[in-house]
Amino acid sequence: MMVTLRIALSLSLLLFGATVAPAQTERILDFVSDVEMQPDSSLDVTETIRFEVLGTQIRHGINRDFPTDYRGQWGSRSTTGFVLEEVRLDGDAVPTQLSRLENGVRIRIGDPDQLVPHGVHTYTIRYLAWWQVSFRSDRDGLDWNVTGNGWTWPIDRAELRLRGPEGLVLAQCPVVHRAVGKSRRGRTDCRRGARLSRRGHDQAALPS
């Protein structure tokens, strides 16, 4: 019999817009989100997004929107932390500009004086997020929107790779895949990953 002194983490994932696009249309070929959960419950996230660029909508770059403000069941509002660490295009640094949205932050990625050549290109976005884990009496929970829902392009494939401190137990890991007018379950692979603390960061570094 195995006795554990760990907090189980209930994980819910959302995949938005993951639908196959016809050939010869601009689209996201592959969306891989690597999430490293820290002992203080903050998240170190690296997104690797591979685009098919044809110059129809993607000309100078892309926008990536991150929701940070949420309204609770009884009308209360909460804000999660977000700090942008690094953005690259095909391995090279690329200009970025942050702006405030009504419910979050937008990263404008690209050089306004330079067009993105046609073809397959990879954007890599690394950021830190916190106040994403909910602490409950029986287990902690993480509701994570893997791809976000602000994309105008279809997504051929989306993948989450979640890692945590040694001893973290992932339990109850449903994945919901939502496209326009559709919702279906996805495949999950819950693996053992440590105990999370309620400590977090002091402030959210968001543009005013």
- pLDDT mean over 72-81: 74
Looking at residue 69, its pLDDT comes to: 82
The DSSP result for 93-148, as a single string, is: E--EEEEEETTEEEEEEE-TTSPPPSEEEEEEEEEEEES-EEE-SS-EEEEEESS-
Give the least confident one: 7-11, 25-29, 109-113.
7-11
Looking at residue 182, its pLDDT comes to: 46
Looking at residue 14, its pLDDT comes to: 56
Q: Which two tokens stand for residue 3?
A: 């006795």
Please give the single-letter amino acid code of residue 103: N
DSSP state, residue 191: -
Secondary structure (3-state) at 79? strand
Higher-scoring residue by pLDDT: 141, 151 = 151
Specify the DSSP element, H or E, that contains 4: none
When the pLDDT of each residue in the chain is averaged and rounded to a whole number, the result is 75
Higher-scoring residue by pLDDT: 56, 175 = 56
> CA–CA separation, 156 vs 31, rounded Å?
8
- pLDDT mean over 181-192: 45
Looking at residue 108, its pLDDT comes to: 96
